[in-house]
Amino acid sequence: MTTDLTVDVSPEVQRRLYELMTLMKAADDRLSKGIASGELVCVYWPSRGQEAIAAAAGVCLREDDRLVTTYRGLHDLIGKGVPLVEIYGEMLGRQVGAARGKGGTMHIARPESGVMLSTGIVGSGPPVAVGLAMAARRLGLDRVTVASFGDGATNTGSFHEAANMAALWDLPVVLVCQNNQYGEMTPTEHTMKIAHVADRAAGYGMPGVRVDGNDPIALVVALTDAVERARSGGGPTLLECVTFRLRGHYFGDPMAYMPEGQLAAASAADPVPRFRARLLEAGNFGELDLDEIERASAAAVEEALATVLAAPATALDELDRDVYADPRNCPA
C-alpha cells in the first residue's frame, strides 16, 4: 500500500504518532540500559522495532476500546494509555505497578485504559478478545477489541478457534498479528507453509490485510478501516503487520541464530528514524520540533523510572488481595 502522509493523516495525528513511537523507543532503551548495567532487575521481552504498530493502534482506538496483548507488550501498553509508572512499577515489583507489583512483566492489565490482559501463553489472547467482544455486544456497547499477538501465535489451535468464532458471529474484533519474522529463535518460514499470515483469514471468511508494520501511516489507514468495520457490525479483520524484532526474544538473548547481515538490513528500516525522515520530508515539522518531542519522551521516561525506584516494593499484605474477583465489581 502506498500512503501519502499529507493526505492520509492530519498533522496532529502525525505528531501524536511520533510522540508515541519515541516514548515507546525511549522506554525500551532505558529499560534495556538499566538491565544491562545491573541497575534494574526484571525479565523483559523487548518490543524495539515494532513501535509503529502500537502507535497506530494508540491513535485509532478509543479509551473504552479493549486491548489484549502479550509478554512483548511494552509498546502496546503505552499506545493504549497505560501510565509508564504503572508499567515500570509492575515490571520492577513495586507498589505503584498496575497490579501493585504482583503480576510482573508478563501480566500487565489495566481495565481503566481498556487493557484487559497481557499473557505469556502464546495464542491465548485471541479467544479472550473474542469473549470481550461478545460481552460488548451483549451489553449493547459499540466498543471494539484488538488482540495483539505474534506470527507464531497464528500456528496455535486457540488462534484458529478464535478466528472462526469471531468471523461466524461478526464480532467487533481486530486481530493484529505483529509478524516480527521470528518465534523465539525460529524464523517464521520454518513454522508455516504459507508465506503470508494474512492469507489465513480466507479460511474463516474474514478480510486478511497485509501491511508494512514499520509504516505508521499505512497502519493507521488499515486499522481505521478494520476498526470502523468492526464497530459498525461488519465483523473482524486479520491484519498482518510485517515488521522485525530488532532485539533478542528476551533481554540478553545473544541472537546467534540470526543469519549474518539480517539484523543490519532490518535496522536500516527501523520505524522510528524512518518516520522522522518522512516527517521532515513532508515539511510540517522541522528538526527542532522533532528533537523536542524526543527530548520530552526521554524526560518522561526518566521521571517515571525515578518515581518507580522511589516507590516501596510490593507489600506482603498484597499477597491475598485481588486474588478473587468480586463479581459485582467485575469490569465488563
**Would you tell me which residues interact with ligand TPP (CB under 6 A)?**
72, 120-123, 149-153, 180, 182-184, 245, 249
Residue of 51, 65, 76, 151 interacting with Mg ion (CB under 5 A): 151
- Considering CB distances under 5 to 8 angstroms, the limit depending on partner class, which of Mg ion, ligand TPP, none binds residue 240? none
Q: Which is nearer to ligand TPP, 138 or 193 (CB)?
A: 193
Residue 158's contacts (CB-CB under 8 Å, 6 or more residues apart) are 123, 124, 126, 127
Burial label, 156 (beta-carbon count in 10 A; 0-12, 13-18, 19+): middle
From the CB of residue 13, how many other CB atoms can be counted at a distance below 10 Å? Answer: 16
**Grid cell in block for residue 309:** 525506584
The whole-angstrom separation of Cα 1 and Cα 330 is 42
- Considering CB distances under 5 to 8 angstroms, the limit depending on partner class, which of ligand TPP, Mg ion, none binds residue 122? ligand TPP
Q: Which is nearer to ligand TPP, 48 or 66 (CB)?
A: 48
Q: Using the structure block, give the residue that is written with the C-alpha cell 478466528.
A: 163
Residue 50 CB, nearest approach to Mg ion (Å): 9
Q: CA–CA distance from 74 to each of 55, 87, 91, 299, 317 (Å)?
A: 11, 8, 10, 18, 27
Residue 242 CB, nearest approach to Mg ion (Å): 11
**248 binds Mg ion, rule: CB under 5 A:** no
Among the listed ranges 48-56, 132-140, 182-190, 293-301, the one in contact with Mg ion (CB under 5 A) is 182-190
Residue 194's contacts (CB-CB under 8 Å, 6 or more residues apart) are 200
Q: Which is nearer to ligand TPP, 151 or 294 (CB)?
A: 151
Q: How far apart are the first and last CA of the chain?
A: 37
* AA identity, residue 124: S
Among the listed ranges 24-32, 127-135, 137-145, 147-155, the one in contact with Mg ion (CB under 5 A) is 147-155
Residue 256 CB, nearest approach to ligand TPP (Å): 17
Q: Using the structure block, give the residue that is written with the C-alpha cell 506470527.
A: 151
**49 binds Mg ion, rule: CB under 5 A:** no
The footprint of Mg ion (CB under 5 A) covers 150-152, 180, 183
